[in-house]
Amino acid sequence: MSDEEEVYSEEEEEEEVVETTTVATPKPEEGQGDPEFIKRQDQKRSDLDEQLREYIAEWRKQRAKEEDELKKLKEKQAKRKIARADEERKMAERKKAEEERRVREIEEKKQRDIEEKRQRLEEAEKKRQAMMQALKDQNKNKGPNFTITKRDAGSNISAAQMERNKTKEQLEEEKKISLSIRIKPLQVDGLGLEALRNKAHELWECIVKLETEKYDLEERQKRQDYDVSIGMIFRDVHIVI
């Protein structure tokens, strides 16, 4: 082989090696290293970051608004609770005052009724005492008595009906008032032995006197009933004749 052929062969081999090396080197990605492409990518990232910041800011703003509304709602509820408690307190005070007034009026009416009954019973007791004294004076003159006292039948019936319509409590109350008028409180505080004996003797004489008057009244009633019966018999006989 000549020298020219050898040189040519070497050049061909070098060209093949260069071509092989060029084919084996990878190509760069599309746009990689392009300033415009990089700028666009940076802009996209910047836009996304801005949107995220705006979203976070809006979320915080909405959250603050909700918290403020919740705070105002709680304050409003607290004020309503205080107002309701104050109204309930005032209502309870009004109810208590009304109840106290009602109880006071009932008690005052009860006291007035008791005082009126006491006055009526005192008057009745005075009349009874006067009647007992009159009967005691008349009892000295023995003998039949044909005097028949007429009474108002209507008033007797009305009084009897009123008496029947009274409740057990009313009758018991009138009994207590009557006894308080007739029976005076016994004052024995500070009395010595001799004074107590004298007081006991005085009470015994009072009991004997009352029992005697009771017996006289019963006998007087019997004589009056007898006189009434005799008077009715004479009247019937006179009518028949």
Across the chain, mean pLDDT equals: 75
Q: Residues 112, 119, 206, CA angle at the centre, nearest 5°?
A: 135
pLDDT digits (tens, 9 = 90+) for 196-219: 888 888 888 888 888 888 888 888
Instruction: Please give the pLDDT value at position 141.
Output: 60
Instruction: Please give the pLDDT value at position 88.
Output: 93
Residue type, 17: V
CA dihedral 200, 204, 210, 211 (to 10 degrees): 150
Instruction: Please give the pLDDT value at position 22.
Output: 44
Of 39-53, 64-78, 172-186, 227-241, least confident by mean pLDDT is 227-241
Maximum C-alpha span of the chain: 209
Answer with the residue of higher pLDDT: 177 or 223.
223
Instruction: Please give the pLDDT value at position 71.
Output: 93
Residue type, 83: A
Q: In this structure, what are the phi and psi dihedrals at residue 153, rounded to the nearest 5 degrees?
A: -65, -40
The pLDDT-based confidence of 113 (bands split at 50, 70, 90) is confident
Instruction: For residue 34, give the H/E element and its range.
Output: none
Answer with the residue of higher pLDDT: 154 or 92.
92
Helices (H), 139-152: none
- Cβ 227 vs Cβ 149: under 8 Å: no
Question: Closest Cα partner for 182 from 126, 104, 114, 109?
Answer: 126
Of 33-42, 53-62, 90-99, least confident by mean pLDDT is 33-42
Instruction: Please give the pLDDT value at position 172.
Output: 78
Helices (H), 139-192: 153-165, 168-182
- Radius of gyration of the chain, Cα coordinates, nearest whole angstrom: 63
pLDDT digits (tens, 9 = 90+) for 117-174: 888 878 877 887 777 777 777 666 654 444 444 444 444 445 555 656 677 777 777 7
- Cβ 108 vs Cβ 100: under 8 Å: no
CA dihedral 190, 191, 192, 195 (to 10 degrees): 170
pLDDT digits (tens, 9 = 90+) for 8-51: 455 555 555 444 444 444 444 555 568 888 888 888 888 898 99
Q: Residues 112, 118, 119, CA angle at the centre, nearest 5°?
A: 90
Sign for the CA dihedral angle at 123, 124, 125, 126 comes to: positive
